[in-house]
Every structure is written in C-alpha cells, then in structure tokens.
A and B are shown apart, each in its own frame.
Chain A
Amino acid sequence: MTTNTLAEPERSPSTGLLAIRADVLILISGVGLVILTMLLSGRISEYYFLAAYTILQFVVLGTAWNILGGYGGYINFGTAGFFAIGCYTTVVLIKLGPMPLAVSMAAAAIVAALVGLGTGYLTLRLRGVYFSIATLALAIVLQTLVINWTFVGGARGIYVIRPAVSGIFSSYVQLILVMMIGLTTVSLIIARAVERSWIGIGLAAIRDDEGAAETCGVPSLRLKLIATTLSGALMGLAGSLFPYFVTYVDPATAFGLPIAVNSIAMPLIGGTATWWGPVVGALLLGSTQQILTVTISSAANLFIVGLLLVAFLIVAPRGVVGLVRDWQARRE
C-alpha cells in the first residue's frame, strides 16, 4: 500500500450529462480567457498578464502532479526536474537556431515524457516514501548535470531573447499567455479524461491498496507508467514556455523549491480526488502569492504556502474538494 494518507478521496459516480458539460465548460473557459487576453492587450499593465501566466503555470503543474500523486497516490517530489527538462529543452533548441514555439513545446513534451517513462520504469517498483525520495534524487541529479553543462549556461544561467511577434499578437507576453491558456485547457481535459477512464479507476484502486488492486486484475505497473509519462509530459510542456517568460534561465530558478513545493501544495489544498482540486488550489494559492508579492514581499510566498498547507492538512485533509463534498453530504 502506498503512504498517501494525506487525503482520503472518494470517486463520484459517473454522470453523463454533467460529464459533457464539464468538458465544454473547460473549453469555453479557455476560449474566453484567450479572447479576454486579446481584448485587454494594451489596455492594462503587462503585470496582470505575467501574474495570470504564473497562476496558470501552476494549474498545469498541479494538474500534472495530481495525475500520479492524487489519482495514484505516488508522491512525486521531482516536479521541478521535469519542469526544468522542458525548460532546458527549449534552451537547447534556441541555441541550435531559431525555433518555432510549437516545436519547442512538442520537443519538451516528448523529452519529459520519455524521462517520465524511464524514471517510472526504474522507480515505480518502489512504494511510498522510497518512491518519493527517488523522484527527489532524480531532480538533484538533473540539476547537477545542468550546472555542469556549459552549452546551456551551466550554473551561471543563460539569457533568452524573445523573438519579435507579428500578426494578431501585440507582445510576446501576450503570445505565451495565450499558449499557456491553451496548455491549461488541454491539461485539464486530459486530467479529467484520465480520472473518468479505466486508467483513473485503476489508479484509484492502486492508491487505496495496490496489492488488492493487482489481485483484482489491475495492471499496476502499466498504469503507473502511463501516469508518469503523461504527468512528465505536461510538466515538461509547462517548463518549455518558461525561458520565454523569464528571459533568463538558471538552474536555481528552473529547479527551484517554489516549483516543487507549489506543485504539491496546490493539489493538496484544492483536493487530490478530482481534476478541479488542483485548479482551485492553484487559483487560491497562486492569487494569494501574487497579491503578497506586490503588497508585502515575494519572500513571503513560500512561508504562506507552508502555513496554508499545514493548516489544510490539519483542518481539511481532503482539501477544498473534501470540504465541498462534506457540505453537500450534510445538505443531502
């Protein structure tokens, strides 16, 4: 059995009509955000675009983490490693020559997916805390490699020049925000599809009792490998846009603690049982961090995340999703 005792989720029964509505809702929200971004360009400070990008980046990372950590109960401490793989894949491609953003993103997804698959194959026979430590070790190994790889700037880091934009976009920030909205939409649709498919049901069984799941015919290793691959690909995709967002990439930022901690804290605070838990967690925590950054100090971010995480684990271990479900149950 895995050691994911932080949350005790329950799967909701399938509801056909609602199922269609949720997918359409995600899609409509994505399109709405894109339209809003296009309309607001030049009318508001670019800071709002950057803040929105940061929050959406954590929606993607939290969602990606949740596919393995929330649905399957395997706690991955190596999110920053996969994020950095995406980030440095883009850096390598930029160094090789002018590269369309879509190509960078596709390459980052493939590389991170393959690393996810390989890591999963090597580590998924480990359970509980041993698996978590192995993923943490992966991030450290990757960071050490990047620090010593001068081609991508080594420990000093590297500057990335944003290409000029043309057509319907007025700035590169607007372009990457639109790309991030698209990525968020795709991530949520994938996460939701996984949750409701045979993969999600199998992962839920694995989370509850892997041994019993196996003896019920659940191919646990295969499902966990699908989860690590998907999860890795989405984390890599989130990282692929990062160099264009910050324009200066160094290992300390790409492999930074905020990436790893936020990716775990957001699903745990939102709730790990459903696709919308990480969204709630990321919106809640991400917005709070942005407000704190401009009102107090960016240094307060992780402190607040830590406090909120501890508070939720004590008061609401199943996150906001759990609170909502308890409230619904009381009403019924």
Chain B
Amino acid sequence: MTEPLLTAESVTKRFEGFIALSDVGFVMHPGERVGLIGPNGSGKSTFVNCLTGVYRSDAGAIRFDGHDITGMPSWLRCKQGLVRTYQIPRPFRGMTVQQNIEVPLRFTAGHTSARELARRAQEILDKVGLIDSARLNPKRLSQVELRKLELARAIAAAPKMLIADEAMAGLSESEVDEILELLHTLNSDGLSILLIEHIMRAVMSFSQRVIVIVAGRKIADGLPDEVMRMDEVERAYLGE
C-alpha cells in the first residue's frame, strides 16, 4: 500500500481532569474513504479538532503528507491540504456565497487576481450546485445549501484530505443522498475523505473502512460490515 497521507499516533487530549481522548491512533491513505463513528460525546469532534489544530493535543504525534504537523496552527494545516467542515455550518455571514469561497482560494490555493478568484469560485459553486446563489448572503440559504457551502469552501482550499464533520446532520433522505453523491465525486477526483457521521446508512454506503471511538478510546478499525458486527461496538451503541 502507498505511504499514509495522515498518521496520528497516541493522540491524547485532556480538559482539566477529564480525558476526552486517550491514546488514539489512526492512519489514512491517499484516496481513502473512512467513516468515523461513535455515540454522542465519545470524542469524535475532539479528535477532529486535534487533527485540524483547533485543539493542541496533550500527547501524541500527527504527521500529514510527510510533515510533522503536531504543533502547527490550523491555518498552516489547511495550507498543507488538511481541511475540514463544521458540524454546525459556519459561513462568513458578512460576505456573499461567492466571497466565502474566495477566502480559502486566496489564502490557501494562492489565487490572487480578482478575475481568477471569481472564475475559480464560480467553478466550485457550479460543482456543488450553488452557482445560482453566488451573490446571495448565506443567511438566505437553506440547511442543505449551507452544508454545500461548507463543502465548497473546503474544496476551495485545494485539500488532499477532507474531514467532513456531520455534513449531513438535519438533512432529509434525498438531501443526504445529494451530499453523499457530492462526496463520492470529490473522492473520485482523488480526495481522501474522513466522514464523521451519525447517519449509519450514509457511513456504511460511503466508507471503505470504519473506525469507532467510544469514551475517548478507539475500539475498532476495519471493514464496515466487520466493525458493525463487533460486540464492543454493539454494546457502545445499544448498551449491555
């Protein structure tokens, strides 16, 4: 197999006395689709925050694309190609939809001319199906459109790996399919995707591999069907 794109070794995060993540290890390869699941409060978002630099891990090491990024600020991780979306969409509300896309295009992908920025932003908006909303304020977007805007902004940063944090939460069945299709398209372009999701249908259909975090510990890492049959996983979701 190829060299891993991302390697997290023994990542630990404490909040005062509370251990939110304990010794979590994880490897992701280029072009892979991985699902990350776990009950509410299990530490999934904390793990994502440690990977993307929102939190500094208290112990452990993270390597991405051949670089040690453990102490790197999040904006530099983004420039390296490690990009995320947020569980609750966080658009720049003082800007139009297109201007939202232009921020990562300018800061991460290195586009500088206004014409080039606009052209590339419109390409991305077209890809995610938001081209007609380019001049709107994000306040006027529906929930699924906000999710698409999050994804579009992430794509604009020219990522090598995308962490989609509950990109389908609160969406209808057909909207979930829309987002899944979009994620599949991005993956087919070579993008590695880590999908954090509660919608099991989406995780099972999308992921080549699933990892499970429960109470801050990784308890499973394997093929989706195998992982879902594991007693430990069943207990975590359904109880004893």
Task: Tell me the number of A-to-B contacts counted with CB atoms below 8 Å.
Answer: 90
CB distance from B115 to the nearest CB of A (A): 9
Question: Is A204 a contact partner of B93 (Cβ separation < 8 A)?
Answer: no
Q: Which of B74, B92, B96 has the most CB of A within 10 A?
A: B92
Question: Is A10 a contact partner of B84 (Cβ separation < 8 A)?
Answer: no
Across the two chains, which residue of chain A brings its CB closest to B101? A216
Q: How many chain B residues touch A (Cβ–Cβ < 8 Å)?
A: 32
Question: Is A198 a contact partner of B90 (Cβ separation < 8 A)?
Answer: no
Question: Is A217 a contact partner of B108 (Cβ separation < 8 A)?
Answer: yes
Question: Is A10 a contact partner of B75 (Cβ separation < 8 A)?
Answer: no
Given contact pairs A14-B114, A201-B103, A216 touches B94 in the complex (Cβ within 8 A):
no
Question: Is A8 a contact partner of B84 (Cβ separation < 8 A)?
Answer: no
Question: Is B94 a contact partner of A11 (Cβ separation < 8 A)?
Answer: yes
Q: Tell me the complex Cα distance, A213–B76, Å.
A: 12
Interface: A132 (CB within 8 A) = no
Chain A residues numbered 1-58 whose CB sits less than 8 Å from any CB in chain B:
8-11, 13-14, 16
Interface: B12 (CB within 8 A) = no
CB distance from A133 to the nearest CB of B (A): 24
Across the two chains, which residue of chain A brings its CB closest to B80? A217
Question: Is B107 a contact partner of A202 (Cβ separation < 8 A)?
Answer: yes
Given contact pairs A198-B107, A216-B104, A217-B157, A208 touches B92 in the complex (Cβ within 8 A):
yes
Interface residues on A, range: 20 to 34
Interface: B99 (CB within 8 A) = yes
Q: Tell me the complex Cα distance, A309–B156, Å.
A: 40
Q: Tell me the complex Cα distance, A11–B106, Å.
A: 15
Residues in B with CB closer than 8 Å to A316 are none
Q: Tell me the complex Cα distance, A156–B8, Å.
A: 63
Chain A residues numbered 220-274 whose CB sits less than 8 Å from any CB in chain B:
220-221, 273
Residues in B with CB closer than 8 Å to A220 are 75
Residues in B with CB closer than 8 Å to A218 are 75, 103, 107
CB distance from B47 to the nearest CB of A (A): 15
Q: Tell me the complex Cα distance, A211–B78, Å.
A: 12
Interface: B73 (CB within 8 A) = yes
Q: Which of B103, B156, B157 has the most CB of A within 10 A?
A: B103
Given contact pairs A8-B93, A204-B94, A212 touches B86 in the complex (Cβ within 8 A):
yes
Interface: B211 (CB within 8 A) = no
Across the two chains, which residue of chain B brings its CB closest to A220? B75
Q: Tell me the complex Cα distance, A11–B79, Å.
A: 24
Interface: A214 (CB within 8 A) = yes
Interface: A205 (CB within 8 A) = yes
For B99, give its contact among A11, A16, A212, A214 (CB under 8 Å): A11
Q: Tell me the complex Cα distance, A156–B102, Å.
A: 54
User: Would you mind naming 23 contact pairs between A and B with Cβ atoms under 8 Å apart?
Assistant: A11-B95, A11-B99, A13-B99, A14-B114, A198-B107, A201-B103, A205-B103, A208-B95, A214-B54, A214-B74, A214-B75, A215-B52, A215-B54, A215-B74, A215-B75, A215-B86, A216-B157, A217-B104, A217-B107, A217-B157, A218-B75, A218-B107, A220-B75
Known pairs A212-B86, A212-B90, A214-B75; list 19 more (Cβ under 8 Å): A10-B96, A11-B94, A14-B114, A201-B99, A201-B102, A208-B93, A208-B95, A209-B90, A212-B92, A213-B92, A214-B54, A215-B52, A215-B75, A215-B83, A216-B75, A216-B108, A217-B107, A219-B73, A220-B75
State the B residues within 8 Å of A (CB). Answer: 52-54, 73-76, 78-79, 83-84, 86, 90-96, 99, 102-104, 106-108, 112, 114, 137, 153, 156-157
